[in-house]
A and B are shown apart, each in its own frame.
Chain A
Amino acid sequence: MIPELGHFCLAMAVAIACAQGVVGIAGPTLKDPRALAAAPVLTLLHFTAILLAFLALVWAGVVSDFTVENIADFSSSSTPLLYRITGIWGNHDGSILLWCLILSLCGTAVALGGRQLPASLRARVLGVLGLVSCGFLLFTLSVSNPFTRIWPPPLDGAGMNPILQDPGLAFHPPVLYTGYVGFSVAFAFAIAALIEGRIDAAWGRWVRPWALLSWCFLTAGITLGSWWSYYTLGWGGYWFWDPVENAALLPWLTGTALLHCSIVVEKRESLKAWTVLLAIATFSLSLSGTFLVRSGILNSVHSFAAAPDQGLFILVLLAITIGGSLLLFALRAPVLAGSGIYAPISRESALILNNIFLCAIAAVVFAGTLYPPFVDLLFGIQLSVGAPFFNQTVLPLAGPIILAMGVGPMLRWKRADLLPVLQRLWLAGAVAVLVFIILTATKHIIAALGLAGGAWVVCSALTDLAERTRLFRAPLGTALGRFFALPRAAIGATLGHIGFGVSVIGIAAMTLAVQKVVVLKPGQSTMLGGYAWTLRDIHDAPGPDYTQRVADVTVSDDGKAFMTLHPSRRFFTAQHVITSDAAIRTNGFQDIYVDFADEQDGGAELRLNRHPGAPEIWFGGLIMALGGVFSLSDRRLRVGAPFRKRLPGGAEA
C-alpha cells in the first residue's frame, strides 16, 4: 500500500511541477499577480509530493518490502539498517528519485529564501526549475519507476554489492548530487535573465551564493568519491580518468570558471553573456554527467546498472534542455551588453585567463571522454582513451593556471601593474624555485614541477593574505585586527587557492609513490621504499555478514617495527563475493597501504605501497570546500544584506 501511495505522490509531483513551470514562466509575461503568488506555493507542494514519494521508498527499504523490485534487487534481510536506507540511492531508479528530491529542495530554497528577489524574476526562476523537474520526474515515472512491484516476491532480496557497503559511499552520492543539482539554480537564474533580457550586479549577487554552494558540494563530493575509490577498491590509485570521474570533473571545471567570472559581473558588470553561457554549460554538463553515466551510454569500470531502453528518453530530454537553453542564449545574448572597460593587465583579465584555461581543460576532457562512444556509434570501432591522453593534455594546460593563480588575486581591478605585484611575490617564487631544485635530485621532473607549482600557489596565497593584513610591516595587533576585518569572501578565496595548492602538492608527491607485489609466507619479509615489510601471520576473524582472513604485516625502519597493519579478505556469504579490505595507515603526510589480494600455498599475495603526499590530495579538496563555505558566509552574499546597505533609509526593496 505504502509504495502505491509513493507512486501516486510521484505522479502528482509531475502534474504540480508542470503547473509550476507554466505558471512561473507565463505569469510574469501576462503580468498576472495571482500567477506570481502561485509559483512559490506550487514549488512547496511539488517538494512535499516528492518528499512523500521518497519517504515511501525509504519506508519500503527499512521494512524490507521485497515485493518492490527495487528493494528486492538491492537489499536483503541481512543488510544493516544504514545500508538499507543508503541502498535506496545506491541504485539507478532510486538515485534519480533522490536527484529530483534535491532539485525540488533547491526550488523550495529559492521560493522561501528569495523574498528579496523581484517577484517576476523569482517566478521565472521557479518556472524554469519546475520545467526541468517535470522532465526528469516524467522520466522516473515512465521508464525508471522505483516503485515497480514484482510477483511473486522473492523470499529474500539479492543483497547489496559489498563494495558499496561503506560509509564513504553511503554519503558520496547525496553530496555529489547536491553539487550537480545546485547548479540548476544558477541555470534557472541564467534562463530567467535571458527571458527578461537584463543582467546587473544584483543578479550576480543572487547567482554567486548558489554557484558557490553547489561548487562546495561538488568539490566535497569529488573528494569523497576519490578517497572512497582509493581506500575501498584497493587499486591504490585516486583518479583513473574514468568516464564517471570525468563526468563529475567537467561541471567542476566549468563551475569553477563560473564562480570566478560571476565575481566580474557582480563587481564590474562585465562578462555578462559569458557568465550566462557558463551557467548553462555547467548545468548541462551536470545533467549529462549524471544521466549519460547512469544510462550506460558512457561505459565505465564503475559499471552502474545499465538500461539501454532509458537511453533514448534521456537523450531526448537532454537535447530539449540543453538545445533549448542554447537556442534561447543565441537569440537573447546580444541584449546583454557589458559596461566595464579594463586593461589587458587587470583583475578582470586575470579572471578571463582563468576562465579560458579552465574551459580549455574542460574541452579536452570532454573530447577524450566522448570520443570513444562517438566513434563506436558512427564507425562501430571500439577504442578507448586512457589516462596518458588526459595527463598529456590536462597537465600542460594546468601549468599556466597555476602560474597565474599566484599573481591574479593581487592585481587591481580595471588597470594594474604587473611589476610591483611580482616584486611582492619574490619570496613565493624563491620557495618554488628552491623546491624545484631540491627535487630535481630525485630525477622526477613531473614531481619536481608539480611540487614547485603547489608550493608557489600556497606561498603566493599566503603572501596575498600577509599583504592585505600588513603582517610584518605593522604591529602584530594591527595585522590581526586587519585580518578579522577582512571580508570573509577574501579569506575564503585565499583558502580555496591554498586548498588547490595543497592538492597539487599531494598529486605531485603521489608520482613518487613506490609499489611492489609480493608473495610472502608467514615470517618472511621484503624491502620496499626504505622499510622492511614482514608478514607475521595469516588468521581467520569473524565479521557481521562476512567471514574474513586477516594478514598481519609489520613495517619496520632500521630494524625497529613501528607499525602493524591488518589487511583482510572478506567472504560475503550471501552474495558469494570476495572483497579485499586494504589496510591504510597515515601520518598526515604519507600513507602506508597494504592490500591482501590472494592466498596460495600458505603464502599471502600482498601489494605493498608507500604513498608520500596521498593525504594532501584530500586535505586540499576539503580546504577548497571549506574556503567555499567561508566565502558563502560573507555578509555580502547573505540574502537581503546588500539591500540593507543600499537602502539605508529602511525602505522596502
Chain B
Amino acid sequence: MRTPKKKRLYLVLACLVCLGGAVALSLAAFSSSLTYFLSPRQVAAHAPPAGQSFRLGGIVQMGTVSTSVSNDTPTTRFAVTDGRAAVNVVFTGLLPDLFREGQGIVAIGSMGPGGVFTADEVLAKHGADYMPKDVEQELKASGKWDPRFGPPPDASAWNDMKVKDGT
C-alpha cells in the first residue's frame, strides 16, 4: 500500500489543495483590497465613486490646515495638492508627527459628500524631503520643476505658481 508512488500522490494532492486554497484566498482578497494611488489632478478629473477606498498622495497645501474640536475629538481639514489641482481632505484622529504644511503625505480613505475626501488614515513619510513619486511627475509635467536645474521648488511656493490647464 505504502508504495513511493502512492506517497507521492498524497504529497501532490496536499500541495495542490494548499496551493489552490492560497490562490483562491489571494484572488478573493485582491479583488476587495487593492487600493489605487491617485493624485489630486486625477481625482479632480475623474473622482472615484463615493465609498471606494483609494490613496490620495500629494503635498499639504500651505495655509489650509485647520483643526476643530468637537466632543473632545479633533477633526482636521486641509487640502492636498500636486501643483495642478487640490482636493479638500477631512480627517478625524491624530496626525503623524511629520504632518505639516508643505509636507508630502499619503491619505487613505474615500470620497465623501461635497467632493471632500474623508481620510481614515494619514501617513507622512519619515524623510523630511520625501516627495511622492506621482507628485514629482506632476511637477515635472506641469513645468514647475526641471530636475536639471536643482532640487524641487519649495512646497510653500506652489500655491502661487501658475497652474497650467494642461489636462
Q: Which residues of A contact B (CB under 8 A)?
A: 161, 163, 234-235, 299, 301-303, 305, 341-344, 349, 352-353, 356-357, 360-361, 363-364, 367-368, 371, 381-386, 388-389, 392-393, 396-397, 516-520, 524, 526, 577-580, 595, 597-598, 600, 603, 605, 607
The reply to whether B33 and A386 form a contact with Cβ atoms under 8 Å apart is: yes
The reply to whether A519 and B72 form a contact with Cβ atoms under 8 Å apart is: yes
Q: In the complex, how many angstroms separate the beta carbon of A541 from the nearest chain B beta carbon? A: 18
Q: 9 additional contacts, CB 8 Å, given A342-B7, A383-B36?
A: A344-B7, A356-B15, A360-B18, A363-B19, A384-B34, A385-B33, A392-B33, A595-B94, A597-B94
Q: In the complex, how many angstroms separate the beta carbon of A602 from the nearest chain B beta carbon? A: 12
* Chain B residue nearest to A382 in the complex (CB): B37
State which of A349, A393, A598 has its C-beta within 8 Å of the C-beta of B26.
Answer: A393
* Chain A residue nearest to B106 in the complex (CB): A301
Instruction: Pick from B19, B29, B32, B37 the residue with the most CB of A within 10 Å.
Output: B29
Given A302-B126, A383-B35, is A353 in contact with B22 using a C-beta cutoff of 8 Å?
Answer: no
- Binary flags per residue of B51-80, CB closer than 8 Å to A gives 1, else 0: 000010000000000010100111000000
State which of B4, B14, B73, B96 has its C-beta within 8 Å of the C-beta of A352.
Answer: B14
Q: Is B140 an interface residue (CB 8 A)?
A: no
State which of B29, B126, B128 has its C-beta within 8 Å of the C-beta of A301.
Answer: B126
* Chain B residue nearest to A526 in the complex (CB): B72
- Binary flags per residue of B17-57, CB closer than 8 Å to A gives 1, else 0: 01101100110111011111100000000000000000100
What CA separation (Å) do A389 and B31 show in the bound complex? 9
A–B complex contacts, Cβ < 8 Å, 10 sampled: A235-B96, A382-B36, A386-B33, A388-B33, A393-B22, A519-B73, A519-B74, A579-B97, A598-B74, A598-B94
Q: In the complex, how many angstroms separate the beta carbon of B59 from the nearest chain A beta carbon? A: 16
Q: Is B163 an interface residue (CB 8 A)?
A: no
Complex contacts, A519 vs chain B, CB 8 Å: 69, 72-74
Complex contacts, B126 vs chain A, CB 8 Å: 161, 163, 301-303
State which of A392, A518, A578 has its C-beta within 8 Å of the C-beta of B29.
Answer: A392
The reply to whether A393 and B72 form a contact with Cβ atoms under 8 Å apart is: no
Given A357-B18, A382-B134, A518-B73, is A397 in contact with B34 using a C-beta cutoff of 8 Å?
Answer: no
Q: Is B127 an interface residue (CB 8 A)?
A: yes
Q: Is B144 an interface residue (CB 8 A)?
A: no
Q: Is B116 an interface residue (CB 8 A)?
A: no
What CA separation (Å) do A389 and B128 show in the bound complex? 29
The reply to whether A356 and B94 form a contact with Cβ atoms under 8 Å apart is: no
Q: In the complex, how many angstroms separate the beta carbon of B21 from the nearest chain A beta carbon? A: 7
Complex contacts, B25 vs chain A, CB 8 Å: 364, 392-393, 396-397
Q: Is B123 an interface residue (CB 8 A)?
A: yes
Q: Which of B88-122 contact A (CB under 8 A)?
A: 92-97, 108
* Chain B residue nearest to A341 in the complex (CB): B2
Complex contacts, A600 vs chain B, CB 8 Å: 67, 74
* Chain B residue nearest to A388 in the complex (CB): B33
Q: In the complex, how many angstroms separate the beta carbon of A351 from the nearest chain B beta carbon? A: 12
Instruction: Pick from A353, A595, A605 the residue with the most CB of B within 10 Å.
Output: A605
The reply to whether A389 and B125 form a contact with Cβ atoms under 8 Å apart is: no
* Chain A residue nearest to B38 in the complex (CB): A382
Given A234-B97, A518-B72, A577-B128, is A382 in contact with B22 using a C-beta cutoff of 8 Å?
Answer: no
Complex contacts, B97 vs chain A, CB 8 Å: 234, 578-580, 597
State which of B19, B26, B123, B128 has its C-beta within 8 Å of the C-beta of A368.
Answer: B26
What CA separation (Å) do A481 and B133 show in the bound complex? 64
What CA separation (Å) do A578 and B26 show in the bound complex? 40
Given A386-B35, A598-B95, is A303 in contact with B130 using a C-beta cutoff of 8 Å?
Answer: yes
Q: Which residues of B contact A (CB under 8 A)?
A: 2, 4, 7, 10-11, 14-15, 18-19, 21-22, 25-26, 28-30, 32-37, 55, 67, 69, 72-74, 92-97, 108, 123, 125-128, 130, 133-134
Complex contacts, B96 vs chain A, CB 8 Å: 235
The reply to whether B29 and A389 form a contact with Cβ atoms under 8 Å apart is: yes
The reply to whether A352 and B11 form a contact with Cβ atoms under 8 Å apart is: yes
Complex contacts, B2 vs chain A, CB 8 Å: 341-343
Complex contacts, B7 vs chain A, CB 8 Å: 341-342, 344
What CA separation (Å) do A305 and B125 show in the bound complex? 12
Q: In the complex, how many angstroms separate the beta carbon of B106 from the nearest chain A beta carbon? A: 8
The reply to whether B123 and A301 form a contact with Cβ atoms under 8 Å apart is: yes
Complex contacts, B28 vs chain A, CB 8 Å: 392
Instruction: Pick from B19, B36, B73, B74 the residue with the most CB of A within 10 Å.
Output: B74
What CA separation (Å) do A234 and B97 show in the bound complex? 9
Q: In the complex, how many angstroms separate the beta carbon of A209 from the nearest chain B beta carbon? A: 28
Complex contacts, A392 vs chain B, CB 8 Å: 25, 28-29, 32-33
State which of A301, A344, A363, A580 has its C-beta within 8 Å of the C-beta of B125.
Answer: A301
Given A341-B2, A597-B95, is A393 in contact with B18 using a C-beta cutoff of 8 Å?
Answer: no
Q: In the complex, how many angstroms separate the beta carbon of B163 from the nearest chain A beta carbon? A: 22
What CA separation (Å) do A54 and B111 show in the bound complex? 52
What CA separation (Å) do A384 and B97 show in the bound complex? 23
State which of B4, B14, B73 has its C-beta within 8 Å of the C-beta of A517.
Answer: B73
Q: In the complex, how many angstroms separate the beta carbon of A390 from the nearest chain B beta carbon? A: 8
Complex contacts, B69 vs chain A, CB 8 Å: 519, 603
* Chain B residue nearest to A270 in the complex (CB): B7
What CA separation (Å) do A396 and B10 show in the bound complex? 22
What CA separation (Å) do A517 and B93 show in the bound complex? 6
The reply to whether B35 and A384 form a contact with Cβ atoms under 8 Å apart is: yes
What CA separation (Å) do A88 and B158 show in the bound complex? 36
Given A302-B126, A393-B25, A519-B69, is A356 in contact with B37 using a C-beta cutoff of 8 Å?
Answer: no
Complex contacts, A603 vs chain B, CB 8 Å: 69
What CA separation (Å) do A385 and B128 show in the bound complex? 24
Complex contacts, A386 vs chain B, CB 8 Å: 33, 35, 108
Q: In the complex, how many angstroms separate the beta carbon of A471 from the nearest chain B beta carbon? A: 34
State which of B19, B30, B133 has its C-beta within 8 Å of the C-beta of A382.
Answer: B133
What CA separation (Å) do A367 and B130 show in the bound complex? 26
* Chain B residue nearest to A381 in the complex (CB): B36
Instruction: Pick from A341, A343, A393, A397 the residue with the most CB of B within 10 Å.
Output: A393
Report, nearest first, the 9 A-B pairs whose CB atoms are least far apart. Answer: A382-B37, A392-B29, A388-B33, A360-B22, A389-B33, A518-B72, A597-B94, A393-B25, A389-B29
Complex contacts, A385 vs chain B, CB 8 Å: 30, 33-35
The reply to whether B37 and A384 form a contact with Cβ atoms under 8 Å apart is: yes
The reply to whether B125 and A303 form a contact with Cβ atoms under 8 Å apart is: yes
Complex contacts, A607 vs chain B, CB 8 Å: 94
What CA separation (Å) do A382 and B38 show in the bound complex? 8
The reply to whether A393 and B29 form a contact with Cβ atoms under 8 Å apart is: yes
What CA separation (Å) do A460 and B2 show in the bound complex? 29
The reply to whether A388 and B29 form a contact with Cβ atoms under 8 Å apart is: yes
Q: In the complex, how many angstroms separate the beta carbon of A224 from the nearest chain B beta carbon? A: 18
Complex contacts, B36 vs chain A, CB 8 Å: 381-384
